[in-house]
Amino acid sequence: MPARQFLSEDEEQQIVNAINTAEQKTSGEIRIHIEHDCEGEPLERAARIFHDLGMDETKLKNGVLIYIATEVQKAAVYAGEGIHREVEDGFWDDVLQILITHFKNEEFEQGIENAVHKVGDKLEELFPYDQKGDVDELSNEISFHDNKN
């Protein structure tokens, strides 16, 4: 399935709304990247995308990328070092498990939205919203890439 057909327009908007809402509670930044195929290990690919999207340049290193490859149904969660070193062991696996569980039932939108909620709650706990003026450092739009058509 081409990455862009993975979600309907409504579903895509629901996810962007979930990111908007989450980021109103934290200085952290959440991004979703969806592509067709994943060459190699999803976590390595996610690390690469994280860099390509400039997510390692946030001030507090608190960006979180949810990565999904539709054709091979692989996913990974990659986080900046600011948040990565603060979360408890197993947290990222829990997020990944949410995605996998829902994807098995073809509940793609719900899986991503629930993962965004879980990451958002953790970001809120560790990196509260800066009332003096938080900056939206990274776009909340989903990043799509069809590496094979």
Question: How large is the C-alpha radius of gyration of the chain?
Answer: 14
- In the bound complex, what is the minimum distance in angstroms from residue 27's beta carbon to Ca ion? 5
By beta-carbon proximity to Ca ion, the closer residue of 70 and 140 is: 140
Classify residue 69 as left (phi > 0), alpha (psi -120 to 50) or beta: beta
Binding segment toward Ca ion, per CB under 5 A, in 26-34, 38-46, 61-69, 111-119: 26-34
Q: Check residue 140 for interaction with Ca ion (CB under 5 A).
A: yes
Classify residue 40 as left (phi > 0), alpha (psi -120 to 50) or beta: left
**Structure token digits, residue 61:** 């290193």
**Structure token digits, residue 108:** 């793609």
The letter for the amino acid at 136 is D
Q: Where are the alpha helices (DSSP H) in the chain?
A: 9-23, 42-52, 81-84, 91-104, 108-126
- In the bound complex, what is the minimum distance in angstroms from residue 129's beta carbon to Ca ion? 8
By beta-carbon proximity to Ca ion, the closer residue of 41 and 141 is: 141
Q: Check residue 141 for interaction with Ca ion (CB under 5 A).
A: no
**3-state secondary structure at position 134:** coil
- In the bound complex, what is the minimum distance in angstroms from residue 19's beta carbon to Ca ion? 6
By beta-carbon proximity to Ca ion, the closer residue of 62 and 70 is: 62
- In the bound complex, what is the minimum distance in angstroms from residue 64's beta carbon to Ca ion? 10
- In the bound complex, what is the minimum distance in angstroms from residue 24's beta carbon to Ca ion? 9
The count of chain residues that interact with Ca ion, using the rule CB under 5 A, is 6
Q: Which of residues 28-87 bind Ca ion (CB under 5 A)?
A: 29
